[in-house]
Amino acid sequence: MSLSPKGYVMRCILQEGPINRAAIAKRTSLSIPSVMTITDDLISRGLVQAVGKGESRGGKRPELLSVVPESEYYIGVDIGRGSVRLVILNLSRNVVYGTKEDTGEVHPEEAFADRLCALILRSIEESGVDTAKLVGIGIAMPGLIEQETGHVLFSPDFDWNDIPLQSWLQRKLPYPVLVENANRALALAESDDTQSTGKQAGNSALCVNIGHGIGAALVQDGRLYYGSSGTSGEIGHITVSKDGPLCACGNSGCLEAMASGDAIAQQARDAVRSGIPTALRTLCEHSLENINAKMVFDAAAVGDMVALSIVDKATDYIGIGLAMAINILDPDRIVLCGGLTKNGPAFFDRVVKSTSKRQMRQAGRHVTISVGKKGDYGTAIGAALIIPYNGWRVPALQHLY
């Protein structure tokens, strides 16, 4: 779905304001009279305001326009395995409220949805935001989500199958609710601040989330790419080793089964169990359950050969996955997110080295690889952004689409 001229103008002011009308016209390829009509309408709706005068180039000093930050609010909820994070963003994408609580029991599913509603309503009250300006609520969770209905088709993390989460929440909340896949939400958050505003400009970012599992989402020209059946981005389930271990998806040798945080921890447990000498045995205090990916990176950092070998292999496989993505998609940017990126250069430098070794020499010449900047609340922020990015589905925003 492309934006309307009004949507482009709004996005341009949002991302580049304070900005004058002539500059908006240039950035959006619209005529100055069109920009004037649109900005007058946005001002009359209270979404945009004049904030002073810019530099003159001979004539009258042009009026500078900016959005009115408190004219709209969006709620974002990130339902994670361990915790539920909630943020409220204003129109300028600033977090005006944030909270976190333990995810707790997710069965029965409808009881969990009720708890979620209670958290959302409590947060709205605590935040003190003007409820008349609350436009919608975005919910992000891991798993396959049907975009049209917000049904959770399958979430292995939660052991949920065909759960009508969006309808349940919508019945109980007086604001539009949209449910989206967590990786897609995160990709929106990580690509939001650098998106292009012009109609012609291309800007693609592949956001790869490497934590317990591995997932990805592609944002192209400010829109999420879904694919034909809405399942694009399953980079964690490309086969990288045909005889590799069984994966949660039912296939074997998937990237996720070879190189995710859970896979790294599992390989370390197997090594300790085999009796091979390694510092991991004392680090985990002889309890295999204590082993996690961070512990393996810590052991590798002090030269433990077993840990080093696991880290080298996993990061090499991640490089193979990223090189495939570069060869196929040739994106402008790859943004790495998730728990494994917290291991700093020990993770990042290895992955970049492996990627550049594996990608086709002539492919992806312009791609940059970086680590996401939004931190632990990135997915919640992205969940809130689902509302303006899917504005054509939200009654209060339809005039922009």
Q: Which is closer to Zn ion, CB of 237 or CB of 333?
A: 237
Q: What residues between 355 and 384 interact with Zn ion by CB under 5 A?
A: none
Complex with Zn ion: residue 164 or 321, whichever CB lies closer: 321
Instruction: Identify which range of 67-75, 208-216, 231-239, 299-307 contacts Zn ion by CB under 5 A.
Output: 231-239
10 Å CB burial of residue 147 (0-12, 13-18, 19+) is: middle
Q: Is 87 in the site for Zn ion (CB under 5 A)?
A: no
> What's the closest the beta carbon of residue 159 comes to Zn ion, in angstroms?
16
**Complex with Zn ion: residue 280 or 318, whichever CB lies closer:** 318
Instruction: Check residue 34 for interaction with Zn ion (CB under 5 A).
Output: no
Q: What angle do CA 136, 115, 396 make, to 5 degrees?
A: 10
Please tell me whether residue 232 binds Zn ion under the rule CB under 5 A.
no
Per CB under 5 A, 212 contacts Zn ion = no
Comparing CA positions, the residue from 152, 66, 165 lying closest to residue 117 is 165
Specify the DSSP element, H or E, that contains 40.
helix 32-44
Rounded Cα gap, residues 72 and 262, in angstroms: 40
Amino acid at 345: P
Nearer to Zn ion, 170 or 251 (CB): 251
Give 254 or 265: the residue with its C-beta nearer to Zn ion. 254
Which residue number, 157 or 221, has a Cβ lying nearer to Zn ion?
157
Shortest distance, CB of residue 253 to Zn ion, whole angstroms? 8
Q: At closest approach, how far in Å is the CB of 297 from Zn ion?
A: 23
Furthest CA-CA distance within the chain: 81
- CB contact at 8 A, 371 and 336: yes
At 112, list the tokens.
């969990």
Q: Binders of Zn ion: how many residues, by CB under 5 A?
A: 5
Of the pair 153, 173, the CB lying nearest Zn ion is at 153
Q: 308 exposed, middle or buried (CB, 10 Å; 0-12, 13-18, 19+)?
A: middle
User: What is the distance between the alpha carbons of residues 382 and 87, in angstroms, rounded to a whole number?
Assistant: 10
Min dist CB 348 to Zn ion, Å, is 24
Kindly indicate which of the ranges 54-62, 210-218, 233-241, 324-332 contains the residues binding Zn ion, using the contact rule CB under 5 A: 233-241
Residues 235-264 that bind Zn ion (CB under 5 A): 237, 247, 249, 251, 254
**In contact, 222 and 205? CB cutoff 8 Å:** no
| Peptide bond preceding 18 in cis form (omega within 30 of 0) | yes
Q: Which residues of 47-59 are buried (b: 16+ CB within 10 A; e: fewer)?
A: bbbeeeebeeeee
Q: Site residues (CB under 5 A) for Zn ion? A: 237, 247, 249, 251, 254
